[in-house]
Structure 1
Amino acid sequence: MSKKTRYTAAATVAVAATLGGTIAAGSVAGAATAAQPDATKVTTVEGPVRGAVSGDVRTFQGIPYAAPPIGDLRWKSPRPVTPWSAPLDARKPGSACPQPADQPIAVPGTNGEDCLYLNVTTPAKTGKRLPVIVWIHGGSFVYGDGATYKAAKLASRGKAVVVTVNYRLGVFGFLSHPGLRAPANLGLQDQQAALGWVRRNAAAFGGDARNVTIMGQSGGGYSVCAQLASPGARGLFDKAIVQSAGCVGEDGSMSLKQAHANGIATAKALGWDGAADADAYLRSAKTADLVKATAAGHGGYRPVVDGKVLPLAPARALATGRFNRVPVLHGSTHDEMSGPVGAEETRTGKPLTAAGYATEVTKVFGDDAAAVLAEYPAGSHGSPGATLSAVLTDSAWSAPAFDTQRVLARHVPVYAYDFADADAPYFKGVPRPKSFSLGTGHMVDLAYLFENDLFEPLNERQARLSDTVISYWSRFARTGRPNGHGTPAWRRFTPRDAYVQKLSSGKDGIGRTDFAADHHYTFWTSLRK
């Protein structure tokens, strides 16, 4: 595709342990009875932890799954945690990993680079072994943490053990510099270490260590794409859920050459003059200074095709069938780019005009702008702002999503969706544009899956959709198929039948949608030729 500038999607062996508590023999009125086990205490392979019971879930937060990557372990592959014997207080989350504070999704850390923690939410009454869902948060590989995504509803209604994970971000997790004697993709290695912890410890929390689903959105979704392609993740998970990330799109990875160029730029931003030993210089830098030098925003860091952790780009791995073959649930939101377009309107106080729309399209698509304007006239989606949102969504998110589903379906079972709630909740306190509806924008689908303070509360109709989505997701985690009693049928996406399930609230909101036609897939495909 020829353009002056290219728009890309912004921002990736069970060891059973017994439940804590002892069964003690006692005597009441001459009869022997058994004491109830302490539901707040669990013994992991590494040591006992004490969490909390709230309502119908148990939560265990801030459990270390690897040694703190500090001191000599900065930019080292994750190492085993030192075991402990006294119960670890797991009632509060561990520190988020260091990150810039320039985005609303940023989570301030409290303990420097000591941040490799995970959180477990499980039904208070587990019964038989439950499927395990491991959540890899998004944030462009720069922002976020696991604890922000509270999983009480997903665990209780979905009857699943939910694990949310921290992993090293930005300069600490995805820096590559030709002079830095360190492996690439440390953030991906952290995720694999967390998955190893899950295999060892899932049974202790009532989970089935042989039924693990990795799940991620945006940067977390690209992480799942990378783990599908990584030999180091083989055998660590059994299913995958990818939300708002096209594994065969442009943002799933970067070359080692690109990563080195970014690493050199980061070192120079830190003050490196190019003459000093880069390894010594970077390792001696303070955490806060490295955060300041981090390429903030949404394009500086990606999984790196390093020939080791990631031998092939996810797109290449999937196209050639050289990936960890598991069932995949994959999709995107119908209006991925409505938020940024709407934010520009609220910032200026003025709706986008037809002339302004043409200017934006020309800026993004260059020589292809005339074709885009012909395919998407300014008022074709109700207003120029809504039309620009559709153009940016379809080109950078929807087309790569459909590409991904088509490629995956050649090798593994695929269930595809388009999250299309017309009036989804939005970010708390953030004004909406007046000239068009935001629909379901990027990240907003997470309001239906997690309790996250970023989002407005769900209304009654949205809560019912949330129940359905959680049922679909948890059934997929349990069986590899989202279908079950009480929810509309959801067929597989196959090479012969590109079935995509629309997910929306209201009457007839769930069912088949012509995703390719709705998002102009044929048009975007034609521009690549």
Structure 2
Amino acid sequence: MSMHRVLATLGCALAAVLTTAGSATPPTQPDRPAASTLRTHAGVVRGAAHDGYRTFEGIPYAEPPVGSLRWAPPRPAAPWPGVRDATRPASACPQPAGEVPGGSTDEDCLHLNITTPDGAGPAHPRPVIVWLHGGGFTAGAGSSYDAHRMAARGDVVVVTVNYRLGALGFLAHSGLPGSGTFGLADQQAALRWVRTEIGAFGGDAHNVTLAGESAGGYSVCAQLASPAAAALFDRAIIESGPCTGRPDRPFAPSSVPLSTARATGADLAAKVGCGSARDVMACLRRVDVSRLLGAQDADQQPAFGTPLLPGDPAAAIAAGRFRRVPVLIGNNHDEGNGWAAGIIQAGNPVTPGTWPDVVSAFFPSPGQAKAIVRAYPVHRTDGGPVFGAVIGDANFACPTARTGGLLAAQVPVWRYEFADEHAPPLAPGTPPFPLGAPHAAELPYLFDLGGRPRDLTPAQHRLADTMIDYWTRFAGTADPNGPSSPPWPRQTVLSLVPDHIVPTRTTMSRHHCAFWNTLG
């Protein structure tokens, strides 16, 4: 079983999470919403007024990164004449087909979308949540996340952001300023835009929460560790993107040394015929986007050892070198089940006989593999869930617990575990075993993915409302607690289950974290 082949297959499978939830363009409304016009420093935008909220979509926060600006730090967007239509999202950043139907090759993608509740305005500014999408740093779009429930119920302004992805976002090359961090630089440019402009949309520029899930959550970790982002946000929400992820465990997002990123960049240049060019970067800037997408690795990570990201975020968090802001952080109970199901459906059964080889494919150290097989035995019918537990515990649950503990030594931290075992499925078809609460399962409780709500039971709707209350109160006050929700003590992990939201102290033991900490 080839690691690269498996991960490439799984990248496509997990992209279906949002593809099936709806495209990146919201569905057509039966009646055209009324217009809503506001002025920014770059020009006037006309958004749409809805029942209880307003939306402004496809607003540029940086110049299109095309031509000589491909693989250059983002530059502020140029002013525009007249009134800019902001009633529909702009293009997603270049990516293969998956979450974005048909993919995208449009580099003019550095745009953001704003959802603001009725009543918000310069005289009554609301807390701001800036959302960074997931997608393994290779896929995703801010417009996939319809935030109207969060904005209206939580009385907050929500900003969703596009940033450069894949090789266009994270290429590294010797002598190239910004190597390995262009996507992170885009996120910072969006945050600077928010600090300057969000007041016109009713947001409080001095109360900004940076939030994200998966690669978006890890991006929050990177921004916590980036000196350049120190003044750009005031709180942080990290969902299923533990800051202490590791490249040798390939499921959770992480970062890599600049030398590794440069080697990957050299491989890309060779694949597209630029490796021996006199001016490699000039050659690469002439390569068609679709060819770059076809040549890039399925797995992408930001580079550290750079001006934007001087050190590995994991090491920075462990050493206490990070932005001191309150943090809400958590993971899902069954993070690994989606990957395990995809690998099994790709023709790799997990049985007592195949289990040692499956483990060895992802943990090539013989000693580690044998220890994992002993700690997680597979019996006749439970191979899939056991494999899912290994992936989830090693890559998400235990790194999240470690990250939470390190952060809590320095700043206020609230920790959760989303554990609705009957969460609505995010991909079509019947999985080979029940997935429980897998990676990304919490997202439909906070957003209407693709502009279309998921089917939730009444109890799940109550959980969704409670989660939005927690998230938005945290954004407003740095404390998720309030009179209408079950108490959330800081010294525990809050288990998020419909009609049974309770603090727990058993997360570490339930996910075998002592074993993983010993394994190294």
- Alpha-carbon contact 1:40-1:50 (below 8 Å) kept: yes
1:122 deviates by 0.9
Residue of structure 1 in register with 2:116 after alignment: 122
User: Which residue of 1 is the match for residue 225 of structure 2?
Assistant: 229
Q: Does residue 418 of structure 2 align to residue 426 of structure 1?
A: no
Q: Answer yes or no: is the 8 Å Cα contact 1:179–1:277 preserved in 2.
A: no
1:154 matched residue in structure 2: 150
**TM-fit CA distance, 1:295:** 1.7
Q: What is the aligned partner in structure 1 of residue 129 from structure 2?
A: 133
| Aligned residue type for 2:512 | H
Q: Provide the residue aligned with 1:244 in structure 2.
A: 240
Pairing 1:343–2:342 present: yes
How many residues align? The count is 483
Q: Tell me what 2:497 maps to.
A: 504
**Cα deviation, residue 125, structure 1:** 2.5
Contact residue 107 and residue 144 of structure 1 kept, 8 A: no
For residues 373-394 of structure 1, the C-alpha deviation after alignment (integer angstroms, 9 at most, x for no partner) is: 22222249x7121111111111
Contact 2:277 2:283 (C-alpha < 8 Å) held by counterparts: no
- Counterpart of 2:278 in structure 1 is 276
Deviation at 1:108, TM superposition (A): 4.8
Relative distance call for 1:111 and 1:105 in structure 2 (3 A) is closer
- How far off its partner does 1:345 sit? 4.0
How many Å separate the matches in 2 of 1:465 and 1:355? 41
- Describe the SS at the equivalent of 1:404: helix
> Does the 8 A contact of 1:118 with 1:165 survive in 2?
yes
Deviation at 1:357, TM superposition (A): 2.8
Letter of the 1:279 counterpart: M
**CA distance in structure 2 between the partners assigned to 1:64 and 1:126 by the alignment:** 22
Preserved contact between residue 184 and residue 306 of structure 1 (Cα < 8 Å): no
CA RMSD of aligned residues (A): 2.4
Note the 1:33-72 alignment, pairs <5 A.
40-72=36-68
1:220 and 2:216 equivalent?
yes
Name the CA distance, whole Å, in 1 between partners of 2:255 and 2:104.
Answer: 29
Contact kept, 8 Å, 2:135 with 2:215, in 1: the verdict is yes
CA distance in 1, matches of 2:295, 2:345: 30
Range 240-249 or range 107-116, more displaced = 107-116
Matching of residue 442 in structure 1 with residue 444 in structure 2: no
SS of the equivalent of 2:144 reads: coil
Is the alpha carbon distance of 1:383 and 1:184 closer, same or farther for their aligned partners in structure 2, counting shifts above 3 Å? closer
**Residue 507 of structure 2: aligned partner:** 515
CA distance, structure 1, for counterparts of residue 60 and residue 101 of structure 2 = 18
1:482 Cα offset (Å): 0.8
Corresponding residue number in structure 1 for 2:24 = none
2:142 alignment partner, SS class: coil
Distance across 1 between alignment mates of 2:400 and 2:328:
11
**Partners of 2:208 and 2:137 in 1: CA distance:** 23
Query: Is 1:307 aligned with 2:306?
Result: yes
Residue 20 of structure 1 is matched in structure 2 by none
Query: In structure 2, what is the Cα distance between the partners aligned to 1:288 and 1:364?
Result: 30
Correspondence for 1:211: 207
Give the letter aligned to residue 79 of structure 1: R
Aligned to 2:99: 105
Q: CA deviation at 1:312?
A: 1.2
Shift of residue 85, structure 1, vs aligned partner: 4.1
Q: Distance in 1 between matches of 2:427 and 2:254?
A: 29
Alignment of 1:302-451 (within 5 A): 302-348=301-347, 352-365=350-363, 366-379=366-379, 383-433=382-432, 436-451=433-448
Q: Which residue of 1 aligns with 2:468?
A: 470
What's the counterpart of residue 16 of structure 2?
Answer: none
| TM-score normalised by the chain length of structure 2 | 0.88
CA positional deviation for 1:342:
1.8
Rounded Cα–Cα distance in structure 2 between residues aligned with 1:180 and 1:310: 15
- CA change 1:519–1:395 in 2 (3 A) is same
Deviation at 1:192? Answer: 0.6
Contact kept, 8 Å, 1:96 with 1:108, in 2: the verdict is: no
- 1:10-41 Cα distance to aligned partner (Å, 9 max, x none): 98xxxxxxxxxxxxxxxxxxxxxxxxxx9711
SS in 1 for 2:405: helix
Give yes or no for contact 1:96–1:107 (8 Å, CA) kept in 2. no
- Equivalent residue for 1:29? none
Once residues 248 and 275 of structure 1 are traced to their aligned partners in structure 2, the CA distance between those partners, rounded to angstroms, is 38
Any conservation in 1 of the 2:95–2:139 contact (CA below 8 Å)? yes
Residue 139 of structure 2 is aligned to residue 143 of structure 1:
yes
Check the 8 A contact 1:65/1:116 in 2, yes or no.
yes
TM score, norm. by length of structure 1: 0.86
* Structure-2 change in CA distance of 1:438 and 1:66 (3 Å): same
- Structure 2's unaligned 5+ residue stretches are 12-33, 247-252
Aligned mates of 1:383, 1:270 — CA distance in 2: 44
* 2:481 partner SS: coil
Q: CA deviation at 1:428?
A: 4.2
Contact 1:181–1:279, Cα closer than 8 Å, also in 2: no
Task: Tell me how far 1:273 sits from its aligned partner.
Answer: 4.0
Report the Cα distance in structure 1 between the residues aligned to 2:494 and 2:134, rounded to whole angstroms.
Answer: 23
1:265/1:110 Cα in 2 relative to 1: closer, same or farther (>3 Å)? closer
Tell me the distance in 2 between the aligned counterparts of 1:247 and 1:106: 27
Shift of 1:180: 4.5
CA distance in 1, matches of 2:214, 2:64: 26
- On the 8 A contact 1:185/1:303 being kept in 2, the answer is yes
Q: CA deviation at 1:430?
A: 3.3
Measured after TM superposition, the shift of residue 106 of structure 1 is 4.1
Q: Which sits farther off after the overlay, 159-168 or 334-343? A: 334-343
Question: Per-residue displacement from partner, 1:350-380 (whole Å, max 9, x unpaired)?
Answer: 9742223343224333322332222222249
Q: Give the Cα separation in 1 of the matches to 2:3 and 2:40.
A: 51
1:99·1:108 contact (CA, 8 Å) conserved in 2? Answer: no
SS state of the match for residue 416, structure 2? strand
CA–CA separation in structure 2 for the residues paired with 1:80 and 1:351: 51
- What's the offset of the Cα at 1:478? 0.6
Structure 1 residue 347, shift from structure 2 partner: 4.8
Question: Structure 1 residue aligned with 2:291, among 289, 292, 313?
Answer: 289
State the partner residue of 1:16. none
Equivalent residue of 2:486, what SS?
Answer: coil
Q: Does the aligned pair in 2 maintain the 1:346–1:431 contact within 8 Å? A: no
Q: Which amino acid aligns with 1:315?
A: A
Aligned to 1:32: none
- Alpha-carbon distance in structure 2 between the residues aligned to 1:330 and 1:316: 18
Code of the residue aligned with 1:375 in structure 2: it is A
**Which of 496, 519, 524 is the aligned partner of 2:516?**
524
Is the CA contact (8 Å cut-off) linking 1:255 and 1:305 kept in structure 2?
yes
CA distance in 1, matches of 2:118, 2:379: 52
Amino acid in the other structure paired with 1:135: W
- More deviation in 199-208 or 282-291? 282-291
Conserved? CA contact 1:116–1:166, under 8 Å: yes
Q: Describe the shift of the 1:420–1:411 C-alpha distance in structure 2 as closer, same or farther (beyond 3 A).
A: same
Is the Cα–Cα contact under 8 Å of residues 105 and 289 in structure 2 kept in the other structure?
A: no
